[in-house]
Structure 1
Amino acid sequence: MTKVAQRLGRQQWFAAVGRKLVPADLAVQRRTGGRIGLARLGGLSAMVLTTTGRRSGLPREVPLLYVPHGDDYLVIGSNWGQAAHPAWSANLLAHPDAEVDVISRRVPVRARLLTGDERERLWHEVVLPFWPAYEDYERRAGGRELRVFLLSPH
């Protein structure tokens, strides 16, 4: 299933449909404690990330793919290849303390934006093999470098 999902993920129509399914995916993950979700159906690692809104100060939830990296989690601000960075990534820049829900396990985390050589190394060694579509999303984003965050439990 994972290989099929990875192939589909590279199609432009997939991103358009995926954006529209985010609210339903969030509701399903919340209701099932993360056991069922669109990404998980494709054999991928998925979480619900809760950030603090940078302007409102209110909790904001978003379902995301993540790449396990030791005890940490890598998340990518692809915004499905749109020109703007996703709101959750700006929230993490303003308020790096957040929470992840991974299969009914809530974990407080601190986010760190990866840059330079560290970002490049993890991008090529870990991120792209997990979800090759990120390369397509970055190209479609019109030159915007996708933000890569390391979420470390604390």
Structure 2
Amino acid sequence: MLPPRWFVRSAWVAHKLLLRATSDRGLHPPTPERCGILRLHTVGRRSGEPRAVVLCYIEDEGRLVTLAMNGWDPADPAWWLNLKTRPSATVDTAGGPRAVTAARATGPERDRLWAELHTVKGYGDLDELSARRGRETAVVVLTPDTPN
């Protein structure tokens, strides 16, 4: 049974506050057993204001992979809408900040990454959560920008 949506959202807000209070000590890389935690910085698509969100992620060949799932709400999360408008962003990870470019995984790549996301703890029952949304959940790939 899934916890109420308000509980999940409250837990992420608490985690975000904890990161701020502990100088980001809660950010950690993924392991084979669990997802990593990063902070994603975007620009609001309508406001133009900076936005930040804490997300679970896995790594795939140097890229960071996460899900655009707003709990099990049918609506896409604001951070994903922001990235669809402006795909350039930055992430804070345990290894430090870096610039990234976001894209939606499609076709066989999406299927492969979706299966990989099932193998780590942190996301819960992805199939049940996705079914509650009533539509496909975007698998978001954050590719680090190469330095010039």
What TM-score bracket applies, with the shorter chain setting the length? Answer: 0.7 to 0.9
More helix by percentage: 1
Give the match for residue 114 of structure 1.
105
CA RMSD of aligned residues (A): 2.1
Percent identity over paired residues: 32
Distance 1:46 1:151 in 2: 14
Of 69, 84, 102, 1:78 maps to 69
Q: Give the 4+ runs in structure 1 shifted more than 4 A.
A: none
* Contact kept in structure 2, 1:34 and 1:47, CA below 8 Å: no
TM-score normalised by the chain length of structure 1: 0.81
CA shift in 2, pair 1:119/1:20, >3 Å:
same
* Contact kept in structure 2, 1:76 and 1:147, CA below 8 Å: yes
Distance 1:132 1:99 in 2: 26
CA shift in 2, pair 1:31/1:43, >3 Å:
farther
Give the match for residue 26 of structure 1.
16
TM-score normalised by the chain length of structure 2: 0.84
Which structure 1 residue ranges, 5 or more long, are not aligned? Answer: 1-10
SS in 1 for 2:118: helix
**Matched AA of 1:69:** D
Give the match for residue 144 of structure 2.
153
Which structure 2 residue ranges, 5 or more long, are not aligned? Answer: none
* Contact kept in structure 2, 1:33 and 1:104, CA below 8 Å: no
**Matched AA of 1:127:** L
SS in 1 for 2:74: coil
Equivalenced residue count is 139
Distance 2:39 2:95 in 1: 10
Aligned positions of 1:1-154 closer than 5 A: 11-13=1-3, 15-36=5-26, 44-103=35-94, 105-124=96-115, 126-130=116-120, 131-141=123-133, 143-154=134-145
SS in 1 for 2:76: coil
